[in-house]
Amino acid sequence: MHEIDDKILDRLKKLRALAERGVGGEKSTAQKKLNKLLKENNLTLESLDEVTPQYFLFKYTNKHTYRLLLQIMHKVVTPSLPDGLPLNYYKSKGTRNKIGIYCTPAQKLEIELDYEFYTELLDREIDTLLSAFIQKQDIFPANGPVSHIDPTEMSAEDLQELARIQQYANNIQYVNRHKMIEDNNY
């Protein structure tokens, strides 16, 4: 079995162990997560031991998550391929926003878990970037209300997020739309 399969099996075994021996809420949470993962992927714990690649389809939502999904697929599957053999992926007719690859059931599950984790993380980063972009480009009404928030009343998390927004904004180029129109660059 490939190293990557061992990692995902370890995760599932830990979930199963928690589901069997955990206490109270952690036990039920682990069992629910384990059942959800297996059911969503039409797998059993025994099927995860299968090392023969099978064809699986993966869904994505837009061009950014498509790129992220491809990157995750390469990260998970490429190390198990013979040297020099590329990862082949397929877009079938009639499968909108889906991409297919051959991988083991354990690799499929790892791709699904990583994709879920990284898309949530990407969404948070995009929210921060959008806030910074709006600030940098000064996209506010000319006579709009101005709120003054006392930083001493903000939580540590809010202050950190504000600092991240400022860091993003510092790296964004300000573009004056009126000047672009005058210069015929718009």
Under 8 Å CB-to-CB from 116, ≥6 apart: which residues?
Answer: none
How do residues 90-107 score in pLDDT, each as one tens digit?
A: 987 877 899 999 998 888
The predicted model scores a pTM of: 0.70
Q: Average pLDDT, stretch 130-152?
A: 86
| Total residues belonging to the chain | 186
How do residues 6-44 score in pLDDT, each as one tens digit?
A: 666 667 766 776 677 767 777 787 778 777 777 776 777
Burial class (CB in 10 A: 0-12, 13-18, 19+), 102: middle
Distance of CA 157 to the CA centre of its chain: 22
Above 60 in pLDDT, residue 53?
yes
- CA 1/CA 80 separation, integer angstroms: 9
